[in-house]
């Protein structure tokens, strides 16, 4: 069984989905490790989460480290002994014409989006298995299933996470540890807001959102951006004791934008 409170690390949790997930765990009384590359930004995010969680908050610890590097991963291992829940959320995305993506960008996306989570899972999952309980969650994307041509380097990493999470799930079979992948769709993060503003200029966000889903993402069944908290709700559930029979799965919270009933 998990410890009470559980010890939870969410990588890339200084904004967006990661911060929302950290808040969900903090409100549940867990000890939450907030991670980002910049120490000041990470500390400010941890304080925001503390303030938002209120009296129900567990301990919230800021751990600044660049987990896209082996050195950064070692900093995490030194700062955090054992984990009950690992959420591999850290990620980047850029847009480039498909034939103009450099080797450097291919490598950078792989190191941040894929290899960072592999390193942390390789370290923590066997320890969870020894204790007989644990949750590992990779944050993929609907772009891993329906890859946009201007983001094939990003889509490649998110497809890779489907294979990685399934493989690790098999590796801890029968131990009480589950490994799953969550696939958000278009989500209202600061990056998404900036992207839409660049596309449509100085108009109210609600109108830009309406036009974006009518023109660019008509397959969406909710016809709006998901909120980070809505994605965090699924992450929090998958990490719960009640999700003990869910493992090796790809779980969508994409607003129905993927035009299939399976990933």
pLDDT tens digits along 9-66 = 999 999 999 999 999 999 999 999 999 999 999 999 999 999 999 988 999 999 999 9
pLDDT of residue 260: 87
- On the question of pLDDT at 226 being above 90, the answer is yes
pLDDT of residue 210: 97
Within 10 angstroms of residue 195's Cβ, the number of other Cβ atoms is 16
Q: Is residue 182 part of a domain?
A: yes
Q: Is residue 167 part of a domain?
A: yes
Known catalytic residue at 93: no
Question: What is the distance between the alpha carbons of residues 240 and 135, in angstroms, rounded to a whole number?
Answer: 8
pLDDT of residue 92: 95
Give me the numbers of helices (H) and strands (E) for the chain, helices first please.
9, 7
Q: Is residue 84 part of a domain?
A: yes
Which residues, at least 6 apart from 233, have a Cβ–Cβ distance to it below 8 Å?
24, 253
Task: Average the pLDDT over 89-107 and give the result.
Answer: 95
User: Are 131 and 219 in a shared domain?
Assistant: no
Q: Domain span at residue 207?
A: 191-225
Scan for tokens 């690790």, then name that residue. 168
Q: Is residue 206 part of a domain?
A: yes
Domain count, the chain: 2
For residues 32 and 2, the answer to whether their CB atoms sit within 8 Å is: no
93, 124, 154, 212: which is the annotated catalytic residue?
A: 154
User: Are 38 and 117 in a shared domain?
Assistant: yes
- On the question of pLDDT at 263 being above 80, the answer is no
User: Are 234 and 126 in a shared domain?
Assistant: yes
Task: Average the pLDDT over 171-189 and give the result.
Answer: 98
Evaluate if pTM is beyond 0.95.
yes
pLDDT of residue 19: 98
């Amino acid at each position: 069984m998990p410890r009470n409170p559980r010890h939870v690390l969410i990588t890339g949790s200084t904004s967006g989905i990661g911060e929302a997930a950290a808040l969900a765990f903090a409100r549940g009384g867990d000890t939450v490790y907030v991670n980002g590359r910049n120490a000041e930004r990470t500390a400010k995010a941890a304080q925001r989460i503390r303030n938002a969680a209120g009296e129900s908050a567990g301990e919230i610890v800021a751990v600044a480290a660049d987990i896209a590097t082996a050195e950064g991963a070692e900093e995490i291992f030194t700062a955090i002994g054992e984990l009950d829940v690992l959420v591999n959320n850290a990620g980047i995305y850029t847009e480039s014409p498909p034939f103009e993506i450099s080797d450097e960008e291919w490598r950078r996306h792989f190191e941040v989006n894929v290899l960072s989570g592999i390193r942390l899972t390789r370290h923590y999952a066997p320890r969870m298995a020894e204790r007989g309980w644990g949750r590992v969650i990779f944050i993929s994307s609907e772009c891993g299933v329906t890859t946009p041509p201007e983001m094939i380097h990003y889509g490649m990493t998110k497809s890779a996470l489907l294979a990685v999470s399934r493989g690790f799930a098999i590796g801890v079979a029968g131990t009480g540890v589950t490994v799953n992948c969550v696939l958000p769709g278009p989500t209202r993060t600061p990056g998404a807001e900036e992207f839409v503003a660049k596309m449509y200029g100085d108009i109210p966000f609600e109108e830009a959102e309406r036009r974006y889903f009518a023109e660019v993402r008509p397959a969406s069944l909710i016809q709006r951006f998901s909120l980070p908290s809505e994605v965090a709700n699924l992450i929090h559930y998958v990490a719960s004791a009640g999700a003990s029979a869910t493992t090796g799965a790809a779980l969508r919270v994409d607003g129905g934008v993927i035009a299939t009933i399976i990933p």
